Chain A
Amino acid sequence: MAPTKPTKDSSKKSSKSPSSSSKVSKNKDVKRPPPKEVKAKARTEPSQLKKKQRREYTEDELDLPKLNMITPAGVVKPKGKKKGKKFVDDAEGMMTIMAMVNADKEGQIESKMMKARQLEEIRQARIKETEARQAQKKSKLDNVKDSIRNKKRKGDDKEDSKSKSTTEEKKGKRKSVAFA
């Protein structure tokens, strides 16, 4: 058996139709202003042709990679600046440059002098140190010399008495050559 459509639908339709008719009847009662025709604006209309102000992004905001641009990464040309050489011909401009240069030079000379003075001090200190060291060495050497001398003298004193006697003995025994 083939399925048959339920009969409900037909009943619904029948029920709906009177309601819809009633709504229409309601609309008819309310007075409305006549509908206005809304025209789509033509693309060539002057208001459409006007460019809308869009926010312009600077290059930094766009976060573009620095490389692969028309101007290489290192070259930045300032916009709106005068092209070519900037001459200085007024006395004030020259004076300002001169003041800068003078201050620079004086600083350099000052630092040079300071450096020279410090080096001189270091040199003096080193010379003093070497002198002191040499003096110390000399005194040490003198002490040693003295001590050796003293030792010798002491030894000599003792030996002298001995040697004197021996020499006298020796003198007595001295060989003598006589001509016959």
Chain B
Amino acid sequence: MRQLTEDETKTLFSKLANYTGRSLNALVTSVDDPSSNDRYVFRLHGSRVYYMRLSLANLATSIPRANLLSLGICVGKFTKTGKFRIHVTALEVIAPHARYKVWIKQNGEMPFMYGGNVVKAHIGRWSEDCPEHQGVVVFNMDDTPLGFGVTARSTAETRKLDPTAITVFRQADIGEYLREEDTLFTT
């Protein structure tokens, strides 16, 4: 387990910034207990990036690398070409800071959680002024984050679409916890 290099940090942040706004800064600066010297850090273990408290990262140094499976929140993994692939486990990290949001109706929840894209008919609300191919976080009408994806069209264009047209391409959804149960945490 090690810290990220400059390039890796940049790649990671630019990926996260696809979905979040300026409040992403809070990820780095957030502190649970201001009196202690603790803060949140990113650590690379294998090819996976984890987000955790510094004290936890320090504790983890006492565990042999081969024996350490996972710690903190897994944000995603670096591919062998150096790109970053964000996982559904990062939803918890990015959802509170989302820049653009899409709320889907109850009849659209199941199709989305089974891995389908979001069609226009299932959308209850959406953030205004969202450009196309922009990362969005998908919520249900009770504001529970269900996953994230990329918009197919801008909001202005989406209005003119027919109800069956795809508006958000799915990238990750919480159904993966069941569907990908076997492979989600394997290295």
Interface residues of A (CB under 8 A from B): 85-89, 91, 93-95, 97-102, 104-106, 109, 112-113, 116, 120
Contacts and interface: CB of A to CB of B under 8 A. Distances in A.
Contacts, number: 62
Contacts of A87: 2-5
5 contacts: A87-B4, A91-B39, A94-B9, A95-B28, A101-B14
Contact of B134 (A93, A104, A109): A109
B134 A95 contact: no
Interface in B127-144: 129, 131-134
Nearest to B156: A120
Interface residues of B, number: 26
B24 A98 contact: yes
Given A105-B14, A105-B18, A97 B131 contact: no
B132 A102 contact: no
B25 interface: yes
A91 B3 contact: no
B26 to A, nearest CB: 10
Contact of A116 (B9, B29, B132): B132
Interface string B1-42: 011111001100110011000101100110000000001010
Contact of A86 (B5, B17, B22, B28): B5
A112 B25 contact: no
Nearest to B31: A91
B129 A95 contact: no
Contacts of A93: 6
Contact of A95 (B18, B25, B132): B25
A94 B28 contact: yes
B84 to A, nearest CB: 12
A106 B131 CA distance: 12
Contact of B14 (A85, A104, A112, A116): A104
B129 A113 contact: yes
